[in-house]
Structure 1
């Protein structure tokens, strides 16, 4: 597993860099090409988008990471749509012809998705009856029905981002009366820090958009769209931080910091609780840096048996110690004790 994670990150970063090079490099060459050869350049750009990139995606993502081959069809459809937006009319006619050839495959995928949706809904309702956490239940249901591939986990993570980023005004369902809750964002001043960073990122996004729009309208739209998605992730992080609290029941505890990570274990598995007043001096034992501000925390939790930490992105990891922020930490320690 530890060897798989660096390879996962390396492959994803590689395909993202290739995508940026093909798109922005192709746009730059197309805009700089003389009018007499622009049609040939546009054909080459089209081939890179709908053939070269999907082939590279297959060899860099699908085969090494064992991602479902169905994702290749989604990538191909996205590349065709992107090419239709940025290329001249003659190439758009080619794209329409290409799309006719892929209709049957897309209909098959849609039919498969409809049949799996019923199973997914049943699995979600079953999990919800046992544990009222929509994000945890959705991810568990998707993995149990669709498989534990990287693509499925990423899809579940993106749905969580949409839930808290675009629907940030929706309230969480109230917990049962016997559930004690604790927040994790107040003592570290996370809301104030987030507000400053949000303002800086927003100003930078507008400035970059105004700069790029003088060079190429399509490039400005693409970069602004990517930045806007980053803002949605940013909003989702704060929204989840405010709503997803620590839960303590009769014999279980749910530790989490927003959407970033979550641990579900029993109260009997907690070995010790140590309040941290200054910077924590780590020992040689690996521990989870789970605070709202990653490098800080006011509570060190040690477990008798290692616990599985489910993260929003990436594979689950095993830890015996967690450093995190907990508001009203004395009350928390007293309640657990």
Structure 2
């Protein structure tokens, strides 16, 4: 598989930080006593939100990651929704002007979105005819339609696929050796406990904060729902996406976190690892996301790049894994023991 282009995450971080600062600033302004008595403030806040958010998106996402410029229209629509939630109902006069502009452009935008969506579905089906992995197929579809794999959207779509639609039966994999990572560990039990605690905490915190600030309470509720969705999606992804061994690669898939192909030619040695032994410095511990100590250590001839969520990349020469059947796994790799 061809390695994806190197992705710099700084523009994404800048976009997230500046967006949060913008939202916090505008929310603070709308809570000022003089906001309703100063005519220029509602107009300024409306422009900051409805124009500022799409501009930030264009500067830091579209230009840097070569995303289709038509996606700015979607961000513009989302900015209208955010502005409607931040601005008091009596101060949304100027917001109505932008809504009318969106309605005038809506037919053209709808045609563009339908065409892009049809192309996306077409390329996804082509990829699915060869490959069974949802994340790889979606990334390939985005690359074909938008010219970029869009790892941020792939990660979010994966969370929805496995978190909300985890009951869907995964595509049947080819006849390749597969090695699970959840059957003989406490991963499923621990994740189930975390999910129960998250749901209980979500309701309690929401009711408590509601007495202080309803706006903050709903923001915290949204973050809690997102976090719970990630936990559920990660649990289902680990269960449905085992490690796969092909004739030339070891496909490493650790839930929603790590997803990359490791060429077998790059592997130098494999050895069992005991819980009590500290890992050598520089080892990338992939078992951390399974809340389980590693039981296999892989060493490579040269530095390899591990791909994580949202385009995250880590370079290492050693990987620590947890596998349910470590002896069978190492026997299948047929590598020498590390000295």
Give the TM interval when normalised to the shorter protein: 0.7 to 0.9
State the partner residue of 1:16: 16
Q: In structure 2, what is the Cα distance between the partners aligned to 1:39 and 1:167?
A: 48
State the partner residue of 2:182: 185
**What secondary structure, in the 3-state scheme, does the structure 1 residue paired with 2:16 have?**
helix
Offset at residue 213 of structure 1 (A)? 1.9
Question: 2:243–2:253: 8 Å Cα contact kept in structure 1?
Answer: yes
Q: In structure 2, what is the Cα distance between the partners aligned to 1:12 and 1:321?
A: 28
State the partner residue of 1:175: 173
1:239 paired residue among 236, 241, 261: 236
State the partner residue of 2:256: 259
Q: CA RMSD in A?
A: 3.1
Aligned residues: 327
Offset at residue 106 of structure 1 (A)? 4.5
Give 5+ residue unaligned stretches, structure 1.
none
Q: In structure 2, what is the Cα distance between the partners aligned to 1:59 and 1:266?
A: 36
Offset at residue 305 of structure 1 (A)? 6.3
Offset at residue 104 of structure 1 (A)? 5.0
Q: In structure 2, what is the Cα distance between the partners aligned to 1:260 and 1:36?
A: 46
State the partner residue of 2:138: 138
Q: In structure 2, what is the Cα distance between the partners aligned to 1:64 and 1:179?
A: 38
State the partner residue of 2:88: 88
Q: In structure 1, what is the Cα distance between the partners aligned to 2:317 and 2:295?
A: 17
1:288 paired residue among 284, 288, 313: 284
1:161 paired residue among 159, 162, 186: 159
Q: In structure 2, what is the Cα distance between the partners aligned to 1:141 and 1:92?
A: 39
Question: 1:42–1:88: 8 Å Cα contact kept in structure 2?
Answer: no
Q: State the TM-score, normalizing by the size of structure 2.
A: 0.81
Greater alpha carbon shift after TM alignment, 78-87 vs 17-26: 17-26
1:171–1:36 distance in 2 versus 1, CA, 3 Å: closer
1:207–1:29 distance in 2 versus 1, CA, 3 Å: farther
Offset at residue 115 of structure 1 (A)? 2.4
State the partner residue of 2:119: 119
State the partner residue of 2:277: 279
**What secondary structure, in the 3-state scheme, does the structure 2 residue paired with 1:242 have?**
helix
Q: In structure 2, what is the Cα distance between the partners aligned to 1:165 and 1:132?
A: 18
Any residues of structure 2 matched to 1:97-108 within 5 Å, and which? 97-108=97-108
Question: 1:263–1:307: 8 Å Cα contact kept in structure 2?
Answer: no
Offset at residue 206 of structure 1 (A)? 2.2
Question: 2:30–2:88: 8 Å Cα contact kept in structure 1?
Answer: no
State the partner residue of 1:335: 332
Give 5+ residue unaligned stretches, structure 2.
1-5, 335-339
Offset at residue 159 of structure 1 (A)? 1.2
Offset at residue 57 of structure 1 (A)? 4.0
**What secondary structure, in the 3-state scheme, does the structure 2 residue paired with 1:205 have?**
helix
Q: In structure 1, what is the Cα distance between the partners aligned to 2:36 and 2:60?
A: 36
Q: In structure 2, what is the Cα distance between the partners aligned to 1:82 and 1:204?
A: 26
Q: State the TM-score, normalizing by the size of structure 1.
A: 0.82
Offset at residue 316 of structure 1 (A)? 5.0
The answer to whether 1:50 aligns with 2:46 is no
Q: In structure 1, what is the Cα distance between the partners aligned to 2:127 and 2:56?
A: 38
Question: 1:30–1:38: 8 Å Cα contact kept in structure 2?
Answer: no
Q: In structure 2, what is the Cα distance between the partners aligned to 1:311 and 1:84?
A: 35
1:262–1:169 distance in 2 versus 1, CA, 3 Å: same
Q: In structure 2, what is the Cα distance between the partners aligned to 1:186 and 1:244?
A: 13
